[in-house]
Each structure stands twice: as C-alpha cells, then as structure tokens.
Structure 1
Amino acid sequence: MNTMIKGEEAEEVEIDLEDSSDSNGEEPETLWRAHPSLEEEEDIHTSALVEISDTKPLINVRDPRGINDCLKVTFEDVIAEPVSVRSGDRVWFWSNALFEVSRVWVYRVVTVLLAIPISIASGLLFAILSCLHIWIVGPCSRCALVGARWLESLWSVVLGIVVRPFYTSAGRCCGGFSVHVARE
C-alpha cells in the first residue's frame, strides 16, 4: 500500500544481518524497529480508551489476573524420584525433555484446533447475554421495581407491625437467661 496517512513520511528501517557470534559478547539488538517520530506523537490526541485496542492481543501479558496459576506445571511437579530409587541420568534427561516437548506441542495442537471455535462461541454467548441483560433484563427489572413500589411499602409495614414485635418480645424473654461455664 503506497498511500500516506496523515502526511507520514516514509522511514527507512535498518536491518542488521550480521552473525550473532560476531557481537563480541554484546547483547544483540532488535533486528528491526521503527522509532516513532515526535511529529506522530504530537499529532495523536486520543483518550486512554482509544489507545487500548480491542483487537490487538496483549502478547506479553496473557494471564494478567493470574486466573490459571494452578496450571504452571513443570516436570518436577508431576514426576519425582526419591533418593532411594533412581533411574539413569539419560533416562531422567530424556523423560524431562519429552515431557516438556509433548506438553508444549500437544497444547499448541489442541489450541489450534479448539481455540478459534471456542473463542467465537464464547464471544457469541457473551454478546447475546450482554444484549439480553442490557435490553431485556435491565428494563424489565426497572419496570417491575417501579410497578412494585407499593409492594415494598406494604412489606415494610407488615414487618413493622407483625414481625418486629414478635422478635422483640422473644428477645426480651430470652434476655433473662444467662449461661455460666465452669471448669472443673
């Protein structure tokens, strides 16, 4: 796409293709990064709600509330050998490697097969529930509360006339009892 948006100028990006072993112990730099120009930062006047994209995934924070902390499973959490009984070092090493590889790849395969359909179904379900709550449940409950205002006042009168004197008298009758616990 060759069109310019808001007068943006084309910016050259330098790509470092040299071998990472030639870096002499220095940290490798990011291969490509376009630094935002000051003009772009000054021209953007958006609220905090607009800056957060609904469609842009948060790659670094996938479980920000720690919902699935119980699923942080390592090899040592599942398989552990006591000191008295030990397998060979190579068996332990390959078992660990195969556990980690199979855990990661089976999870990836299952998420490829199920993540998109389940996320679409969940999105549809939550959208339908939100729509029903906003347009049906909320207004109907408001109408019921407005229409039942007389019932609320009647209920408070019934509680004040019938129930309150009963519990007040029962409390006064039982208030005379005292219990003393003595240890022998």
Structure 2
Amino acid sequence: MAQEAEEYCDMVNRDPNNLNDHVKVAFDDVIGEPDGAHSADCVWKNSHWCFTCGKNCCYKFMTFLCGICIALYWGCEFALIAFDQIWCITPSLRIFAIYCGCCQKFFGTIIQCFLAPICETCGLCFSRITVTNNS
C-alpha cells in the first residue's frame, strides 16, 4: 500500500489540479515595490531572504507537526463521506425512486378514472358552442 502511494505521489508538481492556485505565498506575490519607491538593494535582498526562509521554516515545521495527522483526518473524513454516499444515500434514493414510481402509477390511474371522464364530458359539451360575428 505504501508503494502504491509512492507511485501516485508526484514529488515535483504537488498541486497538479491547481487546487490552491489562489494561495500565492512567494515573496514576489506578496511584496512589491513600484517604480519610484525602492528601498536600498541590501534591504530588498535581505528582506527577500528573511521572508523566504521564515516562510519555509514555519511551513515545514507546521507540516511536520500537523501534516500527517491532518492528512489522516481528511482521509477518514472523505472515506466517511464516500461510505455514506455509497451505502446510505444512493440506496435511499433508489428506494425513493421506486416508491415514487408506484405513486405515479396510482396517481395516473386516479386521474384516468376520475378526472379524464369529467374533462371529456366538458369538452363534448363545450364543443357544440358556435360563435358568429354579426358585424
């Protein structure tokens, strides 16, 4: 099973479906100095280095502490959702469709037996009406 996970785990492109494309956390995506408002080169370079190192260290530390447990939680959560859909919701929807089919037949029969003759009779009565224009 671990070998299966390694086969599907892309170590280069870790977001192949661009799920988190909106999360831009690179220095250039967060901080930018427009023309006419530039800091000293040493400040810019050191700010870039501090931002990148701080972000990387903090992110790696947080994922090291929590990443595996959170991944386990989400895996179990989606397993529960799949279980619920497969074993509870879909069979319930099928039962509902079967009962609705029976109700549809009952309702259709009632309409044919009671309402159709009334409508047919009214149609025959009103079909004899003629309208003439005397202008």
The two structures share one fold, judged by TM-score above 0.5 = yes
1:141 aligns with 2:93: yes
Secondary structure at the counterpart of residue 129 of structure 1: helix
Using the size of structure 2 for normalisation, the TM-score is 0.67
Partner of 1:4: none
Distance, in Å, in 2 between the alignment partners of 1:60 and 1:80 is 27
Gaps of 5+ in 1: 1-52, 162-184
Task: Give the letter for the 1:97 counterpart.
Answer: W
- Detail structure 1 runs of 4+ shifted over 6 Å in the superposition: none
User: Which position in structure 2 is the counterpart of 1:181?
Assistant: none
Cα RMSD of the aligned pairs, angstroms, is 2.4
Cα drift, residue 58 of structure 1: 2.1
1:1-184 paired onto structure 2 within 5 Å: 54-56=4-6, 57-153=9-105, 154=107
Task: Percent identity, please.
Answer: 29
3-state SS, counterpart of residue 22 of structure 2: helix
Structure number with the higher helix fraction is: 2
Q: Distance in 1 between matches of 2:15 and 2:34?
A: 34
Q: Distance in 2 between matches of 1:67 and 1:129?
A: 20
Following superposition, the deviation at residue 73 of structure 1 comes to 3.2
TM-score normalized with structure 1 length: 0.50
Number of matched pairs: 106
**Counterparts of 2:44 and 2:12, CA distance in 1:** 32
Question: Larger relative CO (CA 8 A, sep 6+): 1 or 2?
Answer: 2
Unmatched runs of 5 consecutive residues or more in structure 2: 116-135
Contact 2:27 2:51 in 1 (8 A): yes
How much does 1:77 deviate?
A: 2.4
